[in-house]
Structure formats: structure tokens, C-alpha cells
């Protein structure tokens, strides 16, 4: 099982929407998927529950950290929901190391039962993020094309507590950054200029989906994506031309990410590129 954590220290970047789209896409490709929501806002949990696609676990994500024996169903698509109890974990510093160990133990216990584990995290740099990234194979960072979000890339890599460089050096040497995924992208001059700036500054961290100069993974701003989240619908199953059109735009990016998750050679190349960019 490969574990992917969606991580960004800024909220409102479409992280949960990307997690939802990716989880559904992986299942559609025949992968066995474990979805874990470590955000107390449960924005990953809600659309998956409404969709009726995954089997909900009887235990919550909070139980994974606290060591309550998890009851993970033996099904091909399982959701471990987030809840408000996750908020209390940061206030128990003496238990932070056990929390991280508990997450690693749970993931090891279900390793043979799933192909991919997708973990959505909260934007706060706390023990939930540390516990997830410390046991992950990959990190994917959705970002918005504005200066604040772009400035946050340095925090993603270099934060003194949850920066990927520190986690990789101290806790998890196998960790690889798949890359940055611009979200809510619009065809405006301002956004095009920001996209160009991101590519120029973080070229090695972008996810290439073709040979052209601008062929990098991104998620466009489309109202039907928000509708799918609110309704618990699978985007490409919606009976709207706009939804099908949006999926045609989004699918190449998600397919590329899914390929990286399941292709060892490709993953190795991404790891080397990310490591080079982070130094």
C-alpha cells in the first residue's frame, strides 16, 4: 500500500476536493482505497459519505491516533471519518510520539488490504499532520495561484516542525513530494502570470503531464466541482455537460498522480527531483 498525504499549511486551497476526486478516480481504476480524514472540519468525509461509495469505518480518525483498536472494514473502498475530537490531540504533547506510532501501526496492519491510502489533513501544522507525513510515502500539495499561497511553499518545505525536509531527515527518509498542484485555476491574465511565476520558481516541483511548455498538472476552477463536493456526486457521473467537460480537463492531472503512486520507477524519479529542489 502506498500512502499519500495531501498537505498545505493554508486552508481554502481545494485540498479536500482534490482528495475526493483522487479517491474516486483510484477506485474507478480498480485500486483498493483507504480514505482517512484527519481534518476536524471533515470536508473529505462529507462528500464521500454522501456518495455512498466507500464503506465507513466504525472508528474515527481520532481513534487511529489515540490507539483505540480500529475496526477497518475488509472492503475495497473504506472511509475513516474525521470528527471534532481531532481538535484535542494537539493539547496532549506528552502523547504526540505515541500518536504518530499508532498511525504507523494502523497503516502497517492494513498494508496488504489496500493499494493506496489517501489522507486529507488540516492546514494547522500540528501533530495530525506530523503523524500522517511521518508514515507516508508521498505528499501532494494543492496550492492556489496567489502570492500568499506561493510564499507558503517555503513553509511546506522548511517549516521548523512540519517542513517536509525536516520530516524526511528526522522521521521518514522514504518520503517523497509528488509536487505542487495548482487549484481553482482560471484563464485570466493575472492567473496566467502567477502560473508562469510558479513554474519558473518551482519548476522541479511541478507535475508534468505532457511535453509542452505549460503541460503541468492543475485543477481548473469549475462550479460543478464544488457542486459535486456538496452533493456527494462523482464528477464524471453527473448528468451535466459542464461536469463532463470539467472532468476531461481534470482527468489527465489525476491520472498522472495516480500513475506516480503506483509506478515505482516514476516515483523514484519524482523523489530525486523533489529532493534536488528542496535543497
The whole-angstrom distance between residue 214's C-alpha and the CA centroid of its chain comes to: 23
DSSP 89-141: STT-GGGHHHHHHHHHHHHHHTTTT-SEEEEE--SS-SHHHHHHHHT-SEEEE
pLDDT at 190: 80
Q: How many helices (H) and strands (E) does the chain have?
A: 11, 7
How many residues comprise the chain?
Answer: 279
pLDDT tens digits, residue range 123-146? Answer: 888 999 999 999 999 999 998 877
- Complete edge-to-edge strand list for the sheet that includes strand 2-6: 55-56, 77-80, 33-37, 116-120, 2-6, 138-144, 176-183
SS3 264: helix
CATH superfamily entry for domain 2-277: P-loop containing nucleotide triphosphate hydrolases (3.40.50.300)
Q: pLDDT (tens digit, 9 = 90+) per residue, 203-257? A: 888 899 988 777 899 999 999 999 999 999 999 999 999 999 999 999 999 999 9
Percent of the chain with pLDDT over 90: 63
Q: pTM for the complete prediction? A: 0.90
Distance of alpha carbon 113 from alpha carbon 101, whole angstroms: 20
Residue 272's pLDDT is: 52
Of 141-150, 160-169, 264-273, the one with minimum mean pLDDT is: 264-273
Q: What is the pLDDT of residues 184-209, one digit of tens each?
A: 888 888 878 878 878 887 888 889 99
> Would you kindly state where each structural domain of the chain is located, as residue ranges?
2-277
pLDDT digits (tens, 9 = 90+) for 24-61: 999 999 999 999 999 999 999 999 999 999 999 988 99
Whole-number Å distance between alpha carbons of 198 and 129? 24
Could you please report the per-residue DSSP string of 33-93? EEEEE--TT-TTHHHHHHHT-SEEPSS-HHHHHHT------SSSEEEE---GGGGGSTT-G
H/E stretch holding 133 reads: helix 127-134
* Residues paired with 33 in a beta bridge: 77, 116
Amino acid at each position: 500500500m502506498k500512502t499519500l498525504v495531501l498537505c498545505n499549511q493554508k486552508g481554502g486551497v481545494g485540498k479536500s476536493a482534490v482528495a475526493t476526486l483522487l479517491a474516486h478516480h483510484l477506485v474507478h481504476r480498480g485500486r483498493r482505497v483507504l480514505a482517512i480524514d484527519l481534518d476536524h472540519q471533515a470536508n473529505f468525509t462529507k462528500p464521500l459519505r454522501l456518495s455512498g461509495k466507500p464503506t465507513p469505518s466504525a472508528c474515527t480518525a481520532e481513534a487511529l491516533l489515540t490507539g483505540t483498536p480500529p475496526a477497518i472494514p475488509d472492503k475495497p473502498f473504506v472511509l475513516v471519518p474525521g470528527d471534532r475530537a481531532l481538535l484535542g490531540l494537539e493539547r496532549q504533547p506528552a502523547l504526540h510520539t505515541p500518536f504518530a506510532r499508532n498511525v504507523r501501526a494502523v497503516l502497517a496492519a492494513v498494508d496488504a488490504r489496500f493499494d493506496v491510502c489517501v489522507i486529507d489533513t488540516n492546514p494547522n501544522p500540528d501533530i495530525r499532520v506530523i503523524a500522517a507525513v511521518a508514515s507516508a510515502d508521498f505528499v501532494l500539495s494543492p496550492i492556489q495561484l496567489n502570492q500568499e499561497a506561493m510564499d507558503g511553499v517555503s513553509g511546506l518545505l522548511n517549516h521548523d516542525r512540519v517542513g517536509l525536509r525536516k520530516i524526511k531527515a528526522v522521521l521518514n527518509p522514504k518520503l517523497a513530494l509528488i509536487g505542487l498542484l495548482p487549484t481553482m485555476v482560471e484563464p485570466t491574465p493575472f492567473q496566467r502570470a502567477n502560473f508562469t511565476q510558479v513554474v519558473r520558481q518551482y519548476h522541479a516541483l511541478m507535475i508534468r503531464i505532457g511535453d509542452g511548455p505549460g503541460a503541468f498538472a492543475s485543477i481548473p476552477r469549475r462550479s460543478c466541482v464544488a457542486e459535486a463536493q456538496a452533493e456527494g456526486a462523482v464528477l464524471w457521473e453527473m448528468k451535466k455537460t459542464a461536469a463532463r467537460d470539467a472532468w476531461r480537463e481534470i482527468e489527465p492531472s489525476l491520472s498522472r498522480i495516480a500513475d506516480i503512486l503506483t509506478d515505482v520507477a516514476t516515483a523514484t524519479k519524482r523523489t530525486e527531483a523533489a529532493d534536488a529542489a528542496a535543497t
